[in-house]
Amino acid sequence: MSGGLLVAGTTSDAGKSVLTAGICRWLHRQGVKVAPFKAQNMSNNSAVVVGPDGRGGEIGRAQAMQAAACGLAPDLRFNPVLLKPGSDLASQVVLLGEAVDTVTAGTFRELRPRLAETAYAALAELRAAYDVVICEGAGSPAEINLRAGDYVNMGLARHTGWPAIVVGDIDRGGVFASMFGTVALLDPADQALISGFVINKFRGDLGLLRPGLDMLHRVTGRPTYGVLPWSLDLWLDAEDSLAYGQVLGRPAAPHGTEWLDVAVVRLPRISNATDVEALATEPGVRVRLTVEPAELAAADLVVLPGSKSTVADLAWLRETGLADAVLAHAAAGKPLLGICGGFQMLARSIHDPVESRLGTVPGLGVLPLEIGFEQRKTVRQSVGAVGPGLPVRGYEIHHGYVSSADPAVAPLITCADGSGEGMVLGAVTGTHWHGAFESDGFRRQFLTEAARLAGRHGFRVAADTSFAAARERSLDVLGDLVEEHLDTDALWRLIETGPPPGLPFIPPGAPPG
């Protein structure tokens, strides 16, 4: 088997990432040498990959998850362009893993030809190295205002000649109109590559949906390759924070007599929010994302997660009253955790000439340390231990660093080189490491201590919870859904032979580009 496929979507969060991962998993099970690809991702959830030169680089976390679905280690070429929004008007550009620029909508147009060239070169290398490449689009291919310079949706499909399938989220409503409209807004050459549809997150009687599927086929000349049911098991490694509801996952009943309630502040520029998913895999741990001060007051453990804009999000905490709620929680001796940007917010002061360019601003003052910012971003995988013999692995992505700290306060983690990382002071814990709670022993120890500090003496961690196994189960669920609910024979033909000939043009269409 050889070829490729573009998974496009009617909207952001329609299911492109999970469908791409599911198709990758299905092909991997068939013995196909398959790789994922997303030419350009816009997300503050990223994973660290060690590049060919030994340095750490970033790709979208969804592409790291898709790599795992293929049985592969993450590769910088799987997501050559990553845009990390720092505000509503500007994004950091990460090119083949390295931050190279910060752009606005206007300046991005000037940079786009270089980004497209890099993306196409990475794809060419993947095509040479793998039998099949499954590409994920971005947003919607019908964003006609952006079509002229597109290299991630129909621009990519046109470049390769590969077929595209369009996935839509029926749970949001309007799925048939959005699918028809997606095709009808494209120019003839783009429409010739749109080969069919997949409906995502369906709940109910499939027979009630059949008349709509038949009419969609009649009016577009394109089939629906399957209907994926809603699954509560698909919550790990969400593409971005838009995918989160109030409670993460499916909390299992506690092993002890009490629950541990965790409130995670949903910052405006939250980054690597997937850190708290590891906590949510533990039985008896209920993890909520919130912007309500009252919910912090009721929580056992409060988490300040990562942020792409530490100083701006800290100002937002103060404006919303959340900062006062965080401080009251800490003053009561209840456990508080800061991760990366959230850790930086806990400092006495933050000197930031890089992200916000506001100079020195006061932090929350919960931990006795000072934070500085430097132009070059720290991007690396990290290994260490907590206490005697409790290994911890994580990764770092930050401009901020601890410029000074009270030497009397012990670090959280002893790194492999003997240095210390993070800080623990009473009930307050801070670390720059993302992914640390995926280390099962460390997570269990942390939650046990958090429960003690919160007075939840009836809480007990499970002895056998494995985050890695939970992630593998989630990927297997995706592969099962594709095998059971999609026309895999038709998908196989699409990948091998390309778009079906003679697909009809749906007016009005965009002018030929």
DSSP string, 114-167: HHHHHHHHHHHHHHHH-SEEEEE--S-TT-GGGGGG-SSSHHHHHHHT--EEEE
152, 119 contact by CB (below 8 A): yes
Q: Provide the annotated active-site residues.
A: 340, 434
Contacts of 280 (CB under 8 A, 6+ apart): 248, 249, 251, 262, 286, 287
Helix (H) or strand (E) holding 332: none
Contacts of 190 (CB under 8 A, 6+ apart): 141, 154, 157, 158, 510
Paired tokens of 70: 């293929």
Distance CA(301)–CA(299), nearest Å, equals 6
304, 340 contact by CB (below 8 A): no
What is the chain's percent helix, strand, coil content, to nearest 5? 35, 30, 35
Query: Cα torsion for 143, 146, 148, 149, to the nearest 10°?
Result: -130
Sign of the alpha-carbon dihedral angle for 38, 41, 47, 50:
positive
Distance CA(400)–CA(378), nearest Å, equals 8
Distance CA(180)–CA(220), nearest Å, equals 7
Distance CA(67)–CA(34), nearest Å, equals 9
Distance CA(499)–CA(194), nearest Å, equals 7
Classified as helix, coil or strand, 310 is helix
Classified as helix, coil or strand, 300 is coil
Paired tokens of 252: 């299992």
